Each structure stands twice: as structure tokens, then as C-alpha cells.
Structure 1
């Protein structure tokens, strides 16, 4: 059986762990998303037979770059916001972490579909695969997508941490004695 001192020391260590994890994930997002932007924004290749292709030719790729720019800006903003814990920022961080994670899912999905069609083609609509002609372009897309996925994993972890931090402040609902008697019948 634990005494009161053990319980207090355990609960005081847990927030420090969450603060460390939260800060670590927010800091990890910055270079991962910045690298995603750098790799994707420099993604272009020319082919003598079929011409050139660049990331700016594909809307999904531009969307990925924009969402990663937003995630870098938000990560910097959220680091500053989380440093000022004396304000009640838990709801704001929870909602914004969720929003950015969802945006990262949508942009990653858009690029993943384009990348799949570029690799496999689509015979039903007579699209052939193009990665054999634009191999450097496809390889940079693959790297960018992998970096984006790692950044997304950081945001998923941040969403879980901010949800835990927020919802542990609330107690579970209790039943009144009348409701307990009614459920027993």
C-alpha cells in the first residue's frame, strides 16, 4: 500500500515527463517538416522525351508543402504557448494539435495517392506509370513522404499528450444515490 508521499511524488513526476515528451515532439516536428518542404520544393526533373515535371505541377504536392509550412509555424507557436502554462492553454493546444494532425493526414494522403499512381499507373483510365521515366522525381517524393510521415507521427503523439493533459483535469461523472438504486433494479 502506498502512502501519501509516494502518491504525490509519482504524480509530480508524471507532468514533468509529459512536458519533456511534449517539448521533444514539438521540437522534432520543426526539422522534419522543414526537411519535407526542402525536399519537395526542390523536386523537379526533366526528360528529353516527355518534358519536365516539378512539384508545382501537382496540386497535392503544393498542398503538402503548405501544410508542412503551417506545421512548422504552429510548432514554433505552440512551443511558446506551452512555455506560458500559467494561462489555460490546454484547450487551445488540444484543438490545434488535433487540427494540424488532421491536415497532415489529408496532405500525406493526397501525395501518397499521386505517388501510387506514378508508380503503378491506372490501367482503367489508360494512365501508365511514370516513375521509370522520372526516377529522381519519384525518389525525392518518396523521401519527402517518409519525412512527412515521421512528422505526422509526432503530431499524433502530441494529440494524445495534449488530450491526456486536458482530460485528466476533469473527474469522471458520478451517479447520484437515486441513479445507483435505479440501475440496481
Structure 2
């Protein structure tokens, strides 16, 4: 009987270590993904002889993505440092923070996806023509930055799932008494 309990404890400990390693790896992965997305977008500008110069700062959706990438980079660095120093052990804080970051990244990614769609397709109803045929490099950099941003978003979604699992696995499912089952059935 004792051997079974020891095996379960060892298996649970290995499972916990695998989750910690995955969590740490994902938090580290967010940093270069967010920095690369931020840098590509913040340095994005192009000039056209016909239509002039366009920069990321001309469009609020692109500025929003840069800001959210800066915040996600700072949060990822802080969370990695706190986990390394083991001075922080609040699963609830990480769960809520990871959720907030994932939601912010969804909103900023969606805003840029809309800007990119309009840049490629235009909107005839309001007399906007497509601009990517004139600013091809600008649009290409937006696509790459958006892809990096969504890769970081995937990391935060998985981190949210890990932190949710860690919190909710501490609780047992509510028990149902056999009398209650007999009354309902």
C-alpha cells in the first residue's frame, strides 16, 4: 500500500516539474516574440513618390500593438525573474495576469488585423482604396509583426491554461451523496 502512495507522489512531482518547465519556457518565449513584433512595427515606415510617407505612428491600431507588445514584454520579464528568484508564489496572481495579457493581445492583434485587411482590400463603401500595392514593404512588415504577435498570444493562452489547471486542480469536485442520487434518479 505504501509503494502505491510513493509512486503516485513521485508521478505527481514529475508532472508538476514538467508543468513548471513548460511554463518557464513559454514565459521566456514571449520575450523575443514580443520584442521582435514591437521592433518590426515601431521601425515600420515607407515612402512613395506618389502618395508620400507612411509610418506605424499614423495608425492608432499599430500604435496600440506596439504598446501592448511593450507591456507583454515587461510582464514576461518580470514574471520570469520572480519565478527564478522564487520570491513570488501566488498562482492566482499569475492566473489573472496571464488572462489579462492574453485578452490585451487578442484586442491589439484584432485591431491590426483589421488595419491590414483594409490596407489590402480597401473599403469601397466609404471610398477607401487599398494601399498595399503602393506600400508593399510596409504591409509586409505589418504581416510579420502580426504573426509574431499571435505567436506570443498563443504562448499566453497556453500559460493561462496551465495557471488555470494549477489553481483548479487543488480543489476536489463536489461530492454527491447517494441519497441525493436516489431522489433525483
Give the TM-score band, short-chain normalised: over 0.9
Residues 36-115 of structure 1 mapped to structure 2, 5 A cutoff: 36-83=37-84, 88-115=89-116
Number of the residue aligned with 2:155: 154
Counterpart secondary structure, 2:53: strand
Give, in angstroms, the shift of residue 178 of structure 1: 4.3
Deviation at 1:5, TM superposition (A): 2.8
Q: Secondary structure at the match of 1:53?
A: strand
Q: CA deviation at 1:170?
A: 0.9
Q: Distance in 2 between matches of 1:123 and 1:144?
A: 27
| Deviation, structure 1 residue 86 | 7.2
**Backbone CA RMSD of aligned residues:** 1.6
Normalised TM-score (structure 2): 0.93
Query: SS of 1:138's equivalent?
Result: helix
- Offset at 1:76? 1.3
When structure 1 is superposed on structure 2, of 52-61 and 118-127 the one drifting more is 118-127
2:176 paired residue number: 175
Query: Which ranges in structure 1 are unaligned for 5 or more consecutive residues?
Result: none
Instruction: Number of aligned residue pairs: give it.
Output: 183
SS at match of 1:157: helix
- Mean CA deviation greater in 118-127 or 132-141: 118-127
Structure 1 residues 128 and 57: CA distance shift in structure 2, 3 A: same
| Structure 2 gap segments, 5+ residues each | none
> How far is 1:41 from its partner?
0.3
Structure 1 position 84, deviation (Å): 5.8
Q: Distance in 2 between matches of 1:176 and 1:70?
A: 48
Asked if 2 retains the 8 angstrom alpha-carbon contact of 1:108 and 1:145, the reply is yes
- In the TM superposition, what whole-angstrom CA distance separates every residue of 1:90-138 from its partner, at most 9, and x where no partner exists? 0000000000000000000000000011011112222111000001100
1:133 partner SS: coil
Write out per-residue CA displacement over residues 142-167 of structure 1, whole angstroms, 9 at most, x where no aligned residue.
11001101101111110111111111
Which whole-Å deviations, capped at 9, do the CAs of 1:31-80 have from their partners, x for residues lacking one?
10000110000000111111110000000000000000000111112123
